[in-house]
Amino acid sequence: MAADRSELDRIHIRDLHLRCMIGTHEEERREKQDVLINVTLHGNLAAASKSYRIADTVDYEAIEQRIIAMVERSSCFLIEHLAERITEVCLEDARIERVVVSVDKPGALPFARSVAVEIVRDRRAGD
């Protein structure tokens, strides 16, 4: 059974700057654009904090590499969809109980630094 979500430990992957095909307008689909991704992985890290063993924790480097590979190959119309796909990559690791993903698209609006979407997904019971 999953732990109380408020008591889970967290690993943050901050400011992952990538390029991908993103956008709904024809001019946005001509070349890759910048996105800025932040991910918070929630899980129980107690065993790793005592053992020093990578096998006892979430391998955040491996997750980062899977995120990079997926994003750089992606061709999404919406940042919401890209964020959802990133959560799916993260939840492939059974130790992750919850993931929070934000995707910023710099320059999406003329008078704003960026537009961002943040989504939260929990592991379903039985997964």
Q: Give residue limits of the domains in the chain.
A: 5-122
Closest to 98 in 3D by CA, of 13, 16, 1, 10 = 10
Helices (H), 55-110: 60-73, 79-91
**pLDDT, tens digit, for every residue of 35-49?**
999 999 999 999 999
Which pTM does this prediction carry?
Answer: 0.90
pLDDT at 27: 84
Catalytic residue numbers?
105
Structural fold of domain 5-122: GTP Cyclohydrolase I, domain 2 (3.30.1130)
Per the CB < 8 A criterion, the answer to whether 11 and 41 are in contact is: yes
Which among 32, 43, 57 is positioned nearest to 4, based on CA atoms?
43
